Amino acid sequence: MRTSGDLVINSSAVTMLDESVKLFVLGTANQIRRLNEFLGIQSPNL
């Protein structure tokens, strides 16, 4: 969700993200953990 309130569902692989964007992610705990690692985010202990 962008700060403008626009909701983008299934954005393309080239969609640019910045710090103002809220990213809602669905997946298994392992998939989300791997995404966090890719993004350089420390995963909480689940």
For residue 1, what pLDDT is reported? Answer: 56
Task: Note down the domain range covering 13.
Answer: 1-46
Average pLDDT for runs of 10 along the chain of length 46: 76 84 89 90 74
For residue 34, what pLDDT is reported? Answer: 92
For residue 26, what pLDDT is reported? Answer: 92
> Could you give phi then psi for residue 16, rounded to 5 degrees?
-85, 135
For residue 3, what pLDDT is reported? Answer: 63
Q: Are 7 and 1 in contact (CB under 8 A)?
A: yes
Q: What is the pTM of this model?
A: 0.59
Q: Count up the domains in the chain and report the number.
A: 1
Of the CA atoms within 13 Å of residue 8, those in its CB half-sphere come to 13
